[in-house]
Structure 1
Amino acid sequence: MQLIIEHLSKRYPNGVHALNDVSLTIPNGMYGLLGQNGAGKSTLMRTLATLQDADSGTVMLDDLNVLTQKDDVRRVLGYLPQEFGVYPKVSATDLLDHLAILKGITNGRERSELVKALLNRVNLYDHRKKAVSSYSGGMKQRFGIAQALIGNPKLIIVDEPTAGLDPGERNRFYNLLSEIGENVIVILSTHIVQDVMELCNNMAIIHKGRVLYSGSPQASVDKLKGKIWEKSIPKTELATYQQNYTVISNKLVAGKPLVHVFSETDPGEGFQTAQPDLEDVFFSTIEHSNTVAA
């Protein structure tokens, strides 16, 4: 199973070029789509989920044309949007049963067994009689995965799934996604680099509607070895460092900015070499793109 996206573009009426000649090949397994808010991730996700049209380009899920065979695609699609509504007083069992009917599962016994199996899989069976609206954020996300799994989908799309989850729920969600991603295509759209590093064998970085990188997260980190340098500086000197160096990120550590700069050689001035991570890849890739565009 492969999802092949070629030269996909989308411009909104307000002039925003949300997708600009996007081409990606996405295999079975967990695939991370990493980008800042407004980068074009959600536009791409909605297009792949058959919820909006592209201006140009093609998307093929094996032999299915995602842009023209929408009904066929929906039969093999599971989708967990960033935010999804639920009926206020409907239990998890009843809501999943209703959604299974909408997905075409009309046999009552088959549907009942499916609902039970899905609730067990996402560890919500003991809470099956509770209204989904009363669930915690993590429980709602697990319910969202349960509904996305109805019909044994070949393609699952999850948009910003761990935003707002506490560490325990986030880890449970990680484990669940990893298990699901063993046999189908799971596209994880997020701005949280840790999600991609921990879950995905392949990834893409998207910025201002363009794909800036696609490949292995670890390979992208390896390319930065010996090129990331860090230094703790006074707050008053941050602007000066940003003018004189390629500062890709800074964060407060013990009340002082710890800056990371990109440099092919030792920048001197007390900088120490830093072990790069996916966050450095993300920020350095975007910084390079902004510099080239300027």
Structure 2
Amino acid sequence: MKLIIDNLSKTYDNGVKALQNVSLEIPTGMFGLLGPNGAGKSTLMRIISTLQEADTGSITLGDIDVLKQKNELRQVLGYLPQQFGLYPKISAEVLLNHFAMLKGISNKGERKDLVKALLHKTNLYDVRKQNLKGFSGGMKQRFGIAQALLNNPKLLIVDEPTAGLDPLERNRFYNVLSELGEHTVVILSTHIVDDVKELCTNMAIINQGQVCLKGNPLQILEGLKDKVYKKTIEKSELDLYKQNYQVISEKLFLGKPTIHILSEVNPGNGFSLINAELEDMYFSQIFSNNNFKSN
């Protein structure tokens, strides 16, 4: 099954063009949607999940017209938004059972088995009796995934799921999503490059409401082969280097900035050629005037 987005556009009443002719083809598996905050990712996710209307364009999931057949889409959709609320004084098991009832699973035995299976899948079974107010951020995110899976979705959307999680919780969340991606169309919307690098076989970068790059991450990186150089400099030199080179990222190393630049030729001047990382490609699209395109 594929999710096909064709020429989707959305302009808000204040004139902000949140989406501009966005077209994507998303197959079964993990698909990463990368972009900075305000790029249009959340608007796109809300439109796909039928929570918001598009101005123009179309979306299909298999034979479902998403923009016209909202109820049909909701029956096969799992959605974990960036922000979601939970009842703090209710246990995970009780609340998940309640959500299952709301989703139409009326048979008590079937519902009990499903809740148990999902609590195991998200590694929450041992804390199923614990009130949600005692859950960590990662545990709440895994509970969010559990409720999103109650209807065995064909399409799962997760919006900024790992923001604020510690490394251990993030890895646990990666494992859950990776398993789901084997049989489901999973869209991972994030500004965290590592999320996409760890999980996704296909991806797109969106900025200012437009798709500026899409494809397989490894193939995309070929566009930067032999074009990324790095150098550690003094803090006082940073502005000068930004004036004279195409600086795409900077990080502190032992208190000094290490910069990555894009250059078609060896710039000399102490720069060393490095193997491009997905982060370099991301920053080259977000902060650079030059686009290195992938087939």
Match of 1:266 in 2: 266
Partner Cα separation in structure 2 for residue 213 and residue 137 of structure 1: 32
Matched, 1:154 2:154: yes
Give, in angstroms, the shift of residue 221 of structure 1: 1.5
Structure 2 letter corresponding to 1:42: S
Alignment of 1:1-294 (within 5 A): 1-289=1-289
> Alpha carbon RMSD of aligned pairs, Å?
1.1
Contact 2:246 2:288 in 1 (8 A): no
- Residues 178-212 of structure 1: CA deviation (Å, up to 9, x unaligned): 00100010000000101101100000000000000
Structure 2 letter corresponding to 1:196: V
Give, in angstroms, the shift of residue 156 of structure 1: 0.2
TM-score, normalization by structure 1: 0.97
Contact 2:248 2:288 in 1 (8 A): no
Q: Per the alignment, do residues 18 and 289 of structure 1 end up closer, same or farther by CA in structure 2, a change over 3 Å counting?
A: farther
Partner Cα separation in structure 2 for residue 64 and residue 244 of structure 1: 52
Give, in angstroms, the shift of residue 287 of structure 1: 2.9
Give, in angstroms, the shift of residue 98 of structure 1: 1.1
Partner Cα separation in structure 2 for residue 158 and residue 287 of structure 1: 25
Structure 1 letter corresponding to 2:260: H
Partner Cα separation in structure 2 for residue 86 and residue 129 of structure 1: 15
Structure 2 letter corresponding to 1:189: S
Query: 1:206 aligns to what SS in structure 2?
Result: strand
- Percent identity for Structure 1 against Structure 2: 62
Partner Cα separation in structure 1 for residue 109 and residue 65 of structure 2: 33
Query: Unaligned stretches of 5+ in structure 1?
Result: none
Partner Cα separation in structure 1 for residue 92 and residue 255 of structure 2: 46
Contact 2:157 2:186 in 1 (8 A): yes
TM-score, normalization by structure 2: 0.97
The runs of at least 4 aligned residues of structure 1 exceeding 4 Å deviation read none
Partner Cα separation in structure 2 for residue 84 and residue 258 of structure 1: 38
Which range is displaced more, 130-139 or 280-289? Answer: 280-289
Partner Cα separation in structure 2 for residue 133 and residue 29 of structure 1: 33
Structure 2 letter corresponding to 1:194: D
Give, in angstroms, the shift of residue 88 of structure 1: 2.1
